[in-house]
Amino acid sequence: MTMVEEVRSYLLDLQQRICDAIEAADGKARFLHDDWTRPAGGHLSGDGRTRVLTEGAVFEQAGINFSHVMGASLPPSATAHRPELAGRTFEALGVSLVIHPNNPYVPTSHANVRFFIAEKDGEEPVWWFGGGFDLTPYYGFDDDCMHWHRTARAACEPFGADAYPKYKQWCDAYFFIKHRNEPRGIGGLFFDDLNEGGFEQGLAFMRSVGDHYIPAYLPIVARRKDIPFGERERDFQLYRRGRYVEFNLVYDRGTLFGLQSGGRTESILMSLPPLVKWRYSWAPEPGTPEARLYEHFLQPREWV
């Protein structure tokens, strides 16, 4: 089995397991299955499996995508910090997901695991893994944040004592909305350009991150999904979702890669929430639960 085949087999299985777990947690809605193929001959070819759940009992929208694309050259988002990749053909495989809950007391969550390989005749292939997961609460709970980061640390433990602190810090730095001068959420893990230790080591780490997403997220969902809420909480949730949109469209590498490489727009923008609000120069009243999000949770800190 080639490297690409081994990664593809794992990613398809991961996508199915996560879809099954989200459907079971929702208890009402089912995923729409949208399988697609791009024939060879164009700038980009490949195939994918888009899964979207909407208007569920627990989840307003959940999108879980698998894609496997190949092309003659990498887009600027991939070669900006790796100029040696220019002129190489490439294959990119990944599972990417974003879960937007109904209840404002349940956080939004995101996860992504991916593999790239870039090749050129007469030269060794260049390959790497990337991915991670992060959590975006609207009304935070210390217990949830500690559980999320404990699970992230557990995913990293077999790979050395420095793995969790390194990838936690990278996540804090990556998911930072520079034009707002605030983090998107409470972080988690982020890694990219991972090829140290060889292919099997990199694959094992990617698998561990992917496999720990459901144990990290669903216990939080179960604890918070039935908390009563009103128009005030819903309004704040929609306002804060605006930050999610801003980050994904301005900074997110996966979104930029997909759009710049001519990827499938519907699948790429599936990460955006179905409803969102913006307000001019708004700030929460001091001493409110909304203010506490900014003061306590949207501050880089050690949760475990």
- Per-residue pLDDT reduced to its tens digit, 48-92: 999 999 999 999 999 999 999 988 877 776 666 777 777 788 899
Q: Is there a catalytic annotation at residue 296?
A: no
Indicate which residue of 68, 110, 147, 212 is catalytic: 110
**From CA 38, how far away is CA 304, in angstroms rounded?**
44
Cα–Cα distances in angstroms (integers) from residue 43 to residues 49, 75, 288, 297, in the given order: 20, 11, 52, 43
Q: Is the pLDDT of residue 29 over 70?
A: yes
296 secondary structure, DSSP code: I
Q: Are 124 and 11 in contact, with CB atoms under 8 Å apart?
A: no
Q: Residue 41 — very low, low, confident or very high, per pLDDT cuts 50/70/90?
A: low
**From CA 251, how far away is CA 34, in angstroms rounded?**
27
Tens of pLDDT, residues 126-180: 999 999 999 999 999 999 999 999 999 999 999 999 999 999 999 999 999 999 9
**From CA 230, how far away is CA 223, in angstroms rounded?**
18
Task: Indicate whether this model's pTM tops 0.85.
Answer: yes
Tens of pLDDT, residues 86-119: 778 889 999 999 999 999 999 999 999 999 999 8
Q: Tell me the pLDDT of the chain averaged across its residues.
A: 93
Share of the chain above pLDDT 90, in %: 79
Give 33's strand partners. Answer: 51
Q: What is the token pair recorded at 17?
A: 């397991």
**From CA 160, how far away is CA 299, in angstroms rounded?**
26
Cα–Cα distances in angstroms (integers) from residue 92 to residues 8, 33, 70, 248, 301, in the given order: 10, 21, 6, 19, 33
| Residues ≥6 apart with Cβ < 8 Å to 175 | 134, 183, 184, 185, 187, 190, 247
According to the model, what pLDDT value does residue 47 have? 93
